[in-house]
Structures are given as C-alpha cells and as structure tokens.
Amino acid sequence: MTDMTRPDFHGINMPSKPLFSRAGWAAMLVAAVLLCVVVPVLNLWLPADHALHVSDFMVGLLGKILTYAICALAIGMIWGQAGILSLGHGLFFALGGYVMGMYLMRQIGADGVYGSALPDFMVFLGWTELPWYWALSHSFVATLLLVVLVPGALAFVFGYLAFRSRITGVYFSIITQALTLAAMLLFFRNETGFGGNNGFTDFRRILGFPLATAEMRVILFALSGITLLGCVLLARWLLLSKFGRVLYAIRDSESRVMFCGYNPLPYKLSIWVISAAMCGVAGALYVPQVGIINPSEMSPANSIEMAIWAAVGGRASLIGPIVGAFVVNGAKSVLTVSFPEFWLFFLGALFIVVTLFMPNGLAGVAHQAWAKLRRVRA
C-alpha cells in the first residue's frame, strides 16, 4: 500500500466511447442508401419484368415490417436494458396509428360516401359535429406532435403509477396486457368516436397528395426506414450514456442504485415513455401504408407478437430486435400464404425454441459464432 497522494493511472485512460465504430457508421450509411436510393430506384425505374425489379407488393411489405422493426427496437430497449417486459406496446402503436388515422380521415374531406365534411362513420351514427377531441385532427403539424404526445402521455401516467408502486416483473407485464385489452374494448364502442370495430379506412390523401400511388408508397417506405435508423441512433445514444448504465444497474439491483443516491423512478419512467413514443411513431407510419386502423391492433395477441420479435432477434442488442422483426414477419408472410392454418403453431414453437435454446436470440447466436471464429483464428 502506497500513499494516496500519488495515484496510479494504469488503465484508467478511458476515452469516451464513440456512438458507433467506423464499421458501425458505414453500416448505417449503407442501410440509409439502401432504403432511400436503391429500393426506390429498383421499384420505380426498373421495368416490372427486370430481374432486379422490386415489386410494389414487396415495397409495401417491407415498409410495414420496417414500422414493426421500430416497435421491436422499442421493446428490446426496455426489456433488454432495463428489464421491463411490456406486453402492451401494441396499444401505443395503435394510438399513434389512430392519431394519424384521424388526420387521414379529415383529409378525405367531402369525398366520402355521404359527401359530408364529417367522417362517414359519424354521419352514419347521426352526429352533426366533430367531438372535441377531433379538434386538432385537421392540422398535420399537430398530428405529428400528438403521434408522440398521446402514447407518451398515457405511458407516463401508467408508468408513473406502476413504477411508483414498485410493480415489476411478471405483474407489470400482466397489467400492460390488461391495459391494452381495456383500450381495445373501449375503442370497439361506436360512442367512443373512433369508428368502432371498423376503425378508420378508405383514406384518400396525405398533405393533399394522393396516397395510393407508387411514389407515395416509396416515400412512406423510405420515411419508415429513416425513422428506424433515427430510433437506432437515439437508443444507442441513450444506452451508451451513463443513463443507460444506471438502467442496467437498476436491473441488477434497484435498492443498491437508490443507495448510490439515484431515484430509479424517473429513470424507468423516461425509458418507458421514450419507448412508448417510438411505438406511436411506428404506428403513425404504419397506418398510411396499410390504409386501415382498427381496434384489433390493440388485441393482446398483437402485443405478445411484438415481444416475440424482440426475443427471437435477441433483446440484449439493438440490432437483434430489428432482425427478429424481419425474420418473424418474413416467415409470417410466406407461411400464411402457403400454410395459413399452421402459422400460430409455428409462432408458438419458435418462441419455445428461442427461449430454451437461444436465450439471447439470433443476435446471441451470431455473437457466439463470431467469438468462436476469432478464437479459432487466434
């Protein structure tokens, strides 16, 4: 033991970790070019019989999966890093979708079946004016804000109450399920003012431009891709900061974190609200692409499926959930066409296999393989 005045700096020079390695930034750039340039060019400017042509169906499908990938990332972020498993993120996704749907309904204008300025379902119900909560739906800017704020506010209230009462683990997961189920039942009612079980559909335009064109499809696809990359950046920044390490520590031992002088509540609440808002944005991108939003999006099964994407891909990493969303949804679109009755069996089996044999998902398997390869080389 030497005296305390001459500390030994061995190994302490720790430069602040960059957001991505050079290879990481290169991968982000390649992904951005692929999403914004390559796919649009292959879809719009190559003739339909060309070998490299990306079909409209494919662009639509990939665009949809990109929004799912944002949800998977949002779930992976809270589940993998903070140890909070949400089985109700479908609710936040659907809320974002409904906010966008309200705007799209107003954009139909008087072109509806009844030729009224009101949405068709309101005319059908005999309503003569818009309910108060439709007040901001004519404005695109307000819609963009509400897409983040509505799911965020609900998540804030729910999360505050749940985390303040120290509800954790499986109990938390169960009440998120109950929350989304309750919301689904509420939205099924016609009096709620969101189109009942039919929801919103028959959209015509967005910002005055027609929706059902090849160009708009490609634009929405690219927007979804860019948003996904943005969410990856945000998640990476959050989790590399000390904030992320505190979350990690909360997962390890919440009481010890309190002893270090941190209040875990705002930490858990922030990541929870950010995650919910991400899902809301994903929902808002999803609705104009598929052209419909209805309460079945809030069904508990949908939310569970989202958690499965994250689990299959590997919740411990950021790329894992995204990969999981693509793999599971890719398999779904193939299998539901060829063996529609087997899809749920397949999904269940996949979940069991992943839980039993790949606790860290596909990303974990890839990571192990990579480590092995390096050992063999060295």
Partner 1 sequence: MSPDLLDLGAKRLQEARARAQTPPGGSGGRATGYAHPLQAGVVDVSHGRILYLEGVTVSFDGFRALNNLNLDIAPGELRCIIGPNGAGKTTLMDVITGKTRPDSGTVYFGSTIDLLRHSEPQIAGMGIGRKFQKPTVFEHLTVFENLELALACHKGVWASMRFRLKAEQRDRLAQVLHTIELSPQCHALAGSLSHGQKQWLEIGMLLMQEPKLLLLDEPVAGMTDAETERTAELLTQLKRHHSLIVVEHDMGFVRSICSKVTVLCEGALLAEGTLDEVQANERVIEVYLGR
Residues at the contact surface with partner 1, assessed by CB under 8 A:
1-2, 4, 7-12, 14, 16, 238, 241-243, 245-246, 248-249, 251-253, 255-263, 266-267, 270
Q: In angstroms, give the least distance from the CB of 259 to partner 1.
A: 7
Do the beta carbons of residue 190 and residue 314 sit within 8 Å? no
Q: Tell me which residue has tokens 């979804």.
A: 224
Nearest distance from C-beta of residue 274 to partner 1, angstroms: 11
How many whole angstroms separate alpha carbon 201 and alpha carbon 216?
A: 17
113-103-228-199 Cα dihedral, nearest 10 degrees: -50
Q: Which phi and psi angles does 74 have, rounded to 5°?
A: -60, -40
Tokens of 216: 């708009």
Nearer to partner 1, 221 or 267 (CB): 267
Q: Which amino acid is at 139?
A: S
Residue 61: CA count within 13 A, CB half-sphere: 15
Comparison of 264 and 283: residue with beta carbon closer to partner 1? 264
Q: Which is nearer to partner 1, 203 or 272 (CB)?
A: 272
Q: How far is the CB of 59 from partner 1 (least distance, A)?
A: 36
CB 81 to partner 1: min, Å: 11
CB of 210 to partner 1, least distance (A): 42
How many other CB atoms are found less than 10 A from the CB of residue 270? 16
In the complex, least distance from residue 323 CB atom to partner 1, rounded to whole angstroms: 23
CB nearer partner 1, residue 18 or residue 348: 18
Nearer to partner 1, 215 or 252 (CB): 252
Q: Are strands 200-201 and 205-206 parallel, antiparallel or unpaired?
A: unpaired
CB of 6 to partner 1, least distance (A): 8
Number of helices (H), then strands (E), in the chain: 15, 4
Residue nearer to partner 1 on the CB measure, 53 or 251? 251
Least separation in angstroms between residue 236's CB and partner 1 is: 13
**What is the spatial distance between Cα 36 and Cα 214, in angstroms, rounded to a whole number?**
14
Half-sphere exposure of 372 (CA within 13 A, CB side): 6
Reduced to 3 states (helix: H, G, I; strand: E, B; else coil), residue 293 is strand
Q: DSSP class of residue 191?
A: G
Q: Which residue matches tokens 């992320």?
A: 244
Least distance to partner 1 from the beta carbon of 82, Å?
Answer: 12
What distances in angstroms separate CA 310 from CA 5, 66, 195, 325, one per listed residue? 49, 14, 31, 7
Indicate the residue among 29 and 258 with the shorter CB distance to partner 1.
Answer: 258
Of the two residues 141 and 260, which places its CB atom closer to partner 1 in the complex? 260
Closer to partner 1 by CB, 20 or 248: give it.
248
Q: Tell me the DSSP string of 328-347.
A: HHHHHHHHHHH-GGGHHHHH
